[in-house]
Amino acid sequence: MTTIIAGRFELQDDAQRAAEELARAGFPADRISVFYVSSAGQHDQTPIGGDRDQSPGAEGTGKGNAAGIAAGGAIGAAVGAITAPLTGPIGAITGAFVGGHMGQLVGAMSATKDDGGDADENRIPVRQAGMLVAVEAAGATDRAADTLRAVGAADLEIGEGNIVAGDWQDFDPVAPPRFIDQQTRTADRPHAEGAGPAPGTGPDINR
């Protein structure tokens, strides 16, 4: 595998122009790939559609539920026991039930939150939909990035892989992109599923 530099374009014509500029800058045409990338969540990576079996950040909800039920139940039972002179034995049972339910809700919500730190720092980068122009740039990453910047590429990113006959064969649309330009980095901003330009009509490959 070799280093790959890529940038996003809204229009297919702009993407094709970028590929031509990369060729003029000395990069072999068969090592340049132009294709359409779908919006996050629409890459059909699972049998039922979508990219993942569950949303990122939801992995800990089961543990959060269990911890919340245990803690909430204990607190509810303690409160019920204290009020037993007024409510009778049923107070402790009811308190444990209500406390467990509330603890489950709180535990599940806590488990889906970030594990601390600034929200922006913990946000997973997301690649927006659009035409992606990628080029094998081993030993010439700066030249490739500068060429893409000059023609208006957004969300410049760096990765690794192999481009053969214009096809980035091992491109993974689900893997978080590694952006290299903070000033053009828009792909990690919240956006609606399904947003993005319609694919072009050329021989590009939908990812």
Please list the rounded mean pLDDT of every run of 10 residues in the chain (207 residues): 96 97 98 93 51 53 56 55 55 54 57 53 82 96 97 96 97 93 50 42 49
HSE-CB for 75 with a 13 A CA cutoff: 13
CATH class of 2-54+124-184: alpha beta
Cβ contacts of 97 within 8 Å, gap of 6 or more: 73, 76
105 phi and psi angles, rounded to 5 deg: -65, -45
Residue among 207, 202, 205, 167 at smallest CA distance from 11? 202
Chain Cα centroid distance, residue 69: 31
Instruction: Give me the pLDDT at residue 187, please.
Output: 42
Which residue carries 């090592």 as its tokens? 31
pLDDT of residue 182: 61
CA distance 145 to 159: 12
Q: How far apart are CA 96 and CA 191, in angstroms?
A: 41
In this predicted structure, what is the pLDDT of residue 155?
95
The residues spanned by each domain of the chain are 2-54+124-184, 61-118
Backbone phi and psi for residue 102, each to the nearest 5 degrees, phi listed first: -65, -40
Q: Rounded to whole angstroms, how far apart are CA atoms 47 and 45? A: 7
- DSSP letter assigned to residue 196: S
For residue 133, report the phi and psi dihedrals to the nearest 5 degrees.
Answer: -115, 120
pTM as predicted: 0.56
